[in-house]
Homo-oligomer: A and B are copies of this chain.
Amino acid sequence: MIVIGEKLNSTLKAIRPAMEARDSETVQDLARRQVAAGANYLDVNAGMFLEEESDILTWLVETIGEVTDVPLVLDSPSPEALRAGLKVHRNGRPLINSITGETGRWEAVLPLVTEYDAGVIALCMDDEGMPEDVDGRLAIAETMIRGLTRAGVQPGDIFIDPLVRPVSTGSHYGVVALETIRRVKEDHPDVHIACGLSNVSYGIPGRKRMNQAFLVAAMAAGMDGAILDPLDTDLMDFVCATEALLGRDAYCMNYLKRHRSSQKEAALQKG
């Protein structure tokens, strides 16, 4: 599983003040802790700062790059902010989050993907919006994958986001997301999935449990990447258990290692 750490996001109240105050220590600490917890990428979003977005994103990319080597996911709908972040990115190959099938966004973001040889997260929506059904989402995914590969992007650098909507607002949304994942991976085994998890449980109580269940079901459907909170040890336990269940952990070695280290941690905290 490709774990994209979601915590460095200006929409999260816990970290926004540190971004606003250019508090390197807090930002770097959160970056380090996510990587230590298993993040393969770190999502970085400064969208709440509006006209300051490009400046703060630039600062974030530089500041985080000082303490970790994992590539960053530059998270913005703004081509200007994306370009600002891409210019200063030094941690290997970044991901752009995101492109869509919307004409304007497609035309503005695609040149950045090719110019900076970046990977890209592609959301299943276009000028008509977010389709209600699997076939509609797949059609958009197909169009985007075709357009990206034609522009020279490798399938392995494309991450499809099926766009998960809350099951509280439509009981079909869970199945739509799972089935979209399954069919994208069936038709394009080299293309990755990068799925946000928590939206599925929006508007209902006991969200953690629902998110855990969705994670497992989506992994079983073929999801190989997710934007999530790597500091949520329960959720990361489920990532690890599901990898073992799906035959991706010979002799359960990773599972056992994780279990041992979390027991050590618990013993240390107990004193």
Contact = CB atoms under 8 A, between A and B. Distances in A.
A206 B237 contact: yes
A213 B200 contact: no
A269 interface: no
Interface string A153-183: 0000000000000011001101100100000
Contacts of A200: 245
Interface stretch (A10-18, A58-66, A93-101, A249-257): A249-257
A259 interface: yes
A178 to B, nearest CB: 7
Contacts of A172: 247
A251 B168 CA distance: 6
Interface residues of A, number: 37
A98 to B, nearest CB: 24
A2 interface: no
A168 B252 contact: yes
A248 B248 CA distance: 30
A246 interface: yes
B206 A245 contact: no
A210 interface: yes
Given A244-B167, A246-B175, A251-B168, A256 B216 contact: no
A226 to B, nearest CB: 15
A246 B242 CA distance: 18
A134 to B, nearest CB: 12
A238 B216 CA distance: 11
A217 interface: yes
Interface string A80-114: 00000000000000000000000000000000000
Nearest to A171: B247
User: 5 closest Cβ contacts across the A-B interface?
Assistant: A174-B245, A217-B220, A216-B216, A213-B241, A175-B247
22 contacts: A167-B244, A167-B247, A168-B252, A171-B248, A171-B249, A171-B252, A174-B244, A174-B245, A175-B245, A175-B246, A178-B245, A200-B245, A204-B255, A205-B256, A210-B255, A212-B212, A212-B238, A213-B238, A213-B245, A216-B220, A217-B242, A220-B221
